[in-house]
Amino acid sequence: MANTMQFDLVSPERRLASLPVSAVRLPGAEGEMTAMPGHAPVITTLRPGVLRIESPEGTSEFVVTGGFAEIGFESMSVLAEKAVPLGEMTRAHMDALIEEARAAHAAAKAAPEVEANIVDEAAKLLADMEALGTHMSL
């Protein structure tokens, strides 16, 4: 189909999606972005947020905690650190993700001779995860 591109979403645990899509809205590290067929090739990092897929079969949404997206003219791949279908996300699951981010931040702060940017990145991840939980009203 000329108005679609191949999309693949994988996490270390499993392949979550592999289908033709008309658009994908990403929580990019530099801000939200939408990729569509014919998009200029780019690789970007992801921040915690909701990834939305629009396909001929309908719309699907996934919560991602970070990762990378490789966008091409005719295909797109997302390698997520963690990804969960939005419909499967529960308050307990979100609390566990926030606690993991909190523990990573505490570990970064406590590590001897750790670079300041590592602590800052861990703090940003924690803030993004907390904001995502609030945004999702979980």
**Cβ-contact 44, 112 below 8 angstroms:** no
Predicted TM-score (pTM) of this structure: 0.83
Each residue's pLDDT tens digit, 16-73: 999 999 999 999 988 999 999 999 999 999 999 999 999 999 999 999 999 999 999 8
